[in-house]
Structure 1
C-alpha cells in the first residue's frame, strides 16, 4: 500500500482542495483511504464523498500512539493508497514548543513523506526560502515534494521552481494557477458539509470543476513515485475487534443534511460491540424505535424552520426522553434539544429577531451569535453523568461553535473540564434524566469508555 501526507505552509494554502483532487483522481483507479489530521468534520466529509470510503481523523493531542496506529490500520484494510490531509500549517499544534497535535507529529509517527503545498501568490525565490526553513525546522520530517498554489503565468512558475531546485533540491510536482471564483462553498464553521451540499447538482458540478482544474496541473505519477510503501493491512486491530455482547441494542443516529458531524470511528466502535445502527432524519423522517439515540453536530440554525415543522419527531423525542431512553447529543444536537434557537443579530444568512422552536428536551435556550469558540477539550465525567456507575471517565475531544446555551437555574452537568470551554465555563454536558447534551464533541477512540457506558445504558431496562 502506498501512502503520503499533504500538508500546507499555513491555513488557507489550498491543501484541502488539492488533497480532494488527488483523492478523487486516484479513487477512479484504486481503493483510496483518506485521513484528516485534527478534529475537523467537514474536510473529511469531502474526502469521504469522492472516495466512497469513510475518512478517519488522526490527532496526536487526543490520541496516544497505540490509538493512532489502531485507527490507521483498521481504516486501511482493503486500501491500495492512504492519503493523509494535514491541518493548518505543517508545524501548528496544541503547544508552542512541542509538536503534539500537529501534522508533523503524524508524519513522523507513521513515517510518511510530506507533500508541502506552498501558497506562492506573489512570491518566487521566497518560496524556496520558506521551503528551506520548513526542511530545517525539524529534520525528522521528510518533505518529499512541493505543490505551488496560486501561481500566475509561466514566468512566475519557472522562477519559483528554479529557486526551489537550486536551494532545496526538492521536486515540484504541480503548480496550480490562481483562478477566481473557484473555491469550495464556505460557511462560518468552514466549508459547507458534503452531505448537505451533495443534494444540489450545482455543488457537485463545482466540486468536479475544482478537481478537474487542479488535476490538470499536477503530475500524479510523480506524486505516486514519492509515496512510501506500507505493509498491506489485513488484520483488525484489537481496539476495533468484534466483541459481541450477549444483548444487542439498536442505536438511532440522527444523520442527514443537518446533523452530520460524526467521527467515522463512532460507527465502527458501536458495530464492533455487535450493536445495530439505524440512521434517521430529524428533518424528513420519523424517530425509529431504538434503545438509545445519538444527535451529532451540524447546523440546526440553518434548517430551523424545517426542523420545527417536523413536530411529530420532536414529540417522539420528548416521549423517549420521558421514558428514560438514553439520549446523547453534541453541539448542534445540543442546540436541537433546547427549547428554542434565537438569532440576536444578523449573522451569516441568519436575520436578527428570528427564532426557531426546538425539541424542548433540555431545560435551556440557545442564542446566536457569540465569539467563536474553537478549542481542544479534556476532562472527566462527574457523578451526575447519566450513564456511569459513579466511575470517572475520560472526556477527550474538541469544541467549535458560535452559539451560547443558557440553561435554567439548578441544572446539573455530566462533564468537568480541565481544558476548553463548556456550556458553563468548565462545566459541560447538560443533564436531564437519561439525556446529556454538550458542546464538547468527544472523539470516540480516546473517550471510548464513555461511549461504552452510553451503550451499556441502552441495554438496560428503563427505570420505572
Structure 2
C-alpha cells in the first residue's frame, strides 16, 4: 500500500479541488484510491466521480486506530496508489496538546508522506516561512513537497520558487488564480444540479494541469500490507434491506452497507425520486442527502411514504439518518411551504432552521431503543430543526453533540428510529448484530 496525504496549512486553501483534480488526472493512467480524513460525504462523492472507486473516510474518533488502518488497507486493494485528502490544517485535531484526530495523526498511522497545499495569495518569503514551520513542527511527519495555490502572475511565481528553494522543499507545482476555474455554486457542499458535477470535476482537473504528476507519483510510498478479511462479523441471515439511493438519499458510509452484506443481508436499492415503489424488506435504511431539494417530487410518491408507515406498523426495522429522519416526520417545512412526509413520528421538520457544520456525537442508549445499545459514536450535520410533539419518545441521551432537542436524539416508534446522528459500522464491534436478532 503506497500513497500520499494532501494536507493544507489551513481550511480554504484548495485541498478538495486539488486532491480531486489529481485523482481525476491520475485515474486516466492508473488505479487511484481516494480517502478523506474525518467525517464527510461530499468530498468522498467527488473522489468517487474522479476515480470510479468508492472513496472511504478515515476517522480516528469514530473508529479505533487499528480499524482505521484496516479500512485503508481494505479500500486500497487493487489500487496502484492512494490519495488521502486531509481535513482543515495539517495539525488541527481534537486537542491543542496532541495530534489526535488530525491529518498529521493519519499520515503517521498510514506511513504516508505529506504534500502541503499553501494559499500564497499576497505571500512570497512568508509562504516559505510557513512551510518551514510546518516541516519543523513534527519531525515524524515527512513533508515531501508543496503545491502552491493562488499565484497571481510570473513575478509572484518566480519569487515563490526562489523562496521555496531557499528552504529546500520540492515544489510539485503552482496553481494560477483563474476565475474560469471557479467551482459552480453548491448547496451545502454539493451542486444543486447534479448534471453540473462534471463541470465541477473538469474545473478541478484544470487546476492541476501544471502540476508535476510524475514527481507526485514518485514520492508516494507506504508500508507493506496483507489483505484484510476481519472487518465485519460474518453471518448467513438471508435478510433483506431496502436502501434508497438517489439525489435525495445519497449519504451512506460504504462500510455500513458492507457490514450488512457480511451478515448475509441482501441490499435492495431503489429511487423514490424516480417513482420507485418501496420494496418489501426486513430492514429499511434511509440515509441522508438532499430531500429538502426534492420535496414536491417526494410528496408525489405516495407509495413511498405510505409504505414506510405500513412497514413501521408491521414492526419492521427502520433507521433514518438526518435527511432520512426528516422524511419519517409528519411534515417538512421549506421556503414557507409545508409538505406531508411519512408520519412515523409526531414531529415537524423545518429545513430553514439552525445550521452548523459537521460535529462529533457521543450518545448513550437509554434502553428504550431495541436496535442499538451502549455508548454510540457518530457525527451530525445540522441544517434543519425538528420540533417533536409532546408524546415523542427518544432512544439516545446525547453526551456530546446537539441531537434533536434537550440533549435527546433518536426518535423511536416500535422498531423505527430517526436520528440526526450518522453512525459508522466500524465504530463498534457488531453494528448490525442486535438488528439481525430482532429481524430473525
Q: Is the contact made by 2:110 and 2:222 (CA closer than 8 Å) also made in structure 1?
A: no
Deviation at 1:448, TM superposition (A): 5.1
Q: Secondary structure, in 3 states, of the residue corresponding to 2:285?
A: strand
CA distance in 1, matches of 2:185, 2:394: 33
Match of residue 101 from structure 1: 101
Q: Secondary structure, in 3 states, of the residue corresponding to 2:308?
A: helix
TM-score (norm 2): 0.95
Q: 1:376 aligns with which of 352, 360, 382?
A: 360
For residues 334 and 448 of structure 1, do their structure 2 counterparts lie closer, same or farther at Cα, with a shift above 3 Å needed? farther
For residues 184 and 121 of structure 1, do their structure 2 counterparts lie closer, same or farther at Cα, with a shift above 3 Å needed? same
Q: 2:221 aligns with which of 202, 215, 228?
A: 228
Q: Is the contact made by 1:185 and 1:191 (CA closer than 8 Å) also made in structure 2?
A: no
CA distance in 2, matches of 1:260, 1:447: 23
Name the Cα RMSD after superposition. Answer: 1.7
Q: Is the contact made by 1:394 and 1:450 (CA closer than 8 Å) also made in structure 2?
A: no
CA distance in 2, matches of 1:22, 1:416: 42
Match of residue 348 from structure 2: 365
Match of residue 454 from structure 1: 435
Q: Secondary structure, in 3 states, of the residue corresponding to 2:426?
A: coil
Is residue 2:207 matched to residue 1:214?
A: yes
Is residue 2:170 matched to residue 1:141?
A: no
Deviation at 1:223, TM superposition (A): 0.6
Q: Secondary structure, in 3 states, of the residue corresponding to 1:30?
A: coil
> After superposition, what is the alpha-carbon deviation per residue over 1:260-282, rounded to whole angstroms, capped at 9, x for unaligned?
11111112111122211111112
For residues 47 and 238 of structure 1, do their structure 2 counterparts lie closer, same or farther at Cα, with a shift above 3 Å needed? same
Q: 2:281 aligns with which of 284, 290, 298?
A: 290
> After superposition, what is the alpha-carbon deviation per residue over 1:285-344, rounded to whole angstroms, capped at 9, x for unaligned?
11111111000111111111111111111111111111111000000001111111113x
> After superposition, what is the alpha-carbon deviation per residue over 1:389-423, rounded to whole angstroms, capped at 9, x for unaligned?
xxx33311111122111111132211122111101
Q: Secondary structure, in 3 states, of the residue corresponding to 2:62?
A: coil
- Larger displacement relative to structure 2 (59-68 or 13-22): 59-68
Deviation at 1:429, TM superposition (A): 0.5
CA distance in 2, matches of 1:404, 1:58: 29
Q: Is the contact made by 1:429 and 1:439 (CA closer than 8 Å) also made in structure 2?
A: yes
CA distance in 1, matches of 2:184, 2:261: 33
Match of residue 191 from structure 2: 192
Is residue 2:164 matched to residue 1:203?
A: no
Q: Is the contact made by 1:413 and 1:428 (CA closer than 8 Å) also made in structure 2?
A: yes
Q: Is the contact made by 1:386 and 1:431 (CA closer than 8 Å) also made in structure 2?
A: no
Q: Secondary structure, in 3 states, of the residue corresponding to 1:174?
A: strand
Is residue 2:238 matched to residue 1:239?
A: no
Q: How many residue pairs align between the two structures?
A: 438
Q: Secondary structure, in 3 states, of the residue corresponding to 1:23?
A: helix
Match of residue 383 from structure 2: 402
Q: Is the contact made by 1:393 and 1:449 (CA closer than 8 Å) also made in structure 2?
A: no
CA distance in 2, matches of 1:291, 1:229: 42
For residues 184 and 266 of structure 1, do their structure 2 counterparts lie closer, same or farther at Cα, with a shift above 3 Å needed? farther
CA distance in 2, matches of 1:450, 1:386: 13
CA distance in 2, matches of 1:191, 1:368: 16
Q: Is the contact made by 2:50 and 2:201 (CA closer than 8 Å) also made in structure 1?
A: no
CA distance in 2, matches of 1:362, 1:411: 7
Is residue 2:415 matched to residue 1:434?
A: yes
Match of residue 14 from structure 1: 14
Q: Is the contact made by 1:113 and 1:227 (CA closer than 8 Å) also made in structure 2?
A: yes
Match of residue 249 from structure 1: 239
- Larger displacement relative to structure 2 (202-211 or 431-440): 202-211
Match of residue 170 from structure 1: 169
Q: Is the contact made by 2:181 and 2:204 (CA closer than 8 Å) also made in structure 1?
A: yes
CA distance in 1, matches of 2:155, 2:312: 65
Deviation at 1:189, TM superposition (A): 2.5
Deviation at 1:387, TM superposition (A): 2.1
For residues 441 and 107 of structure 1, do their structure 2 counterparts lie closer, same or farther at Cα, with a shift above 3 Å needed? same
Match of residue 356 from structure 1: 339
Q: Is the contact made by 2:112 and 2:222 (CA closer than 8 Å) also made in structure 1?
A: no
Q: 1:305 aligns with which of 293, 296, 301?
A: 296
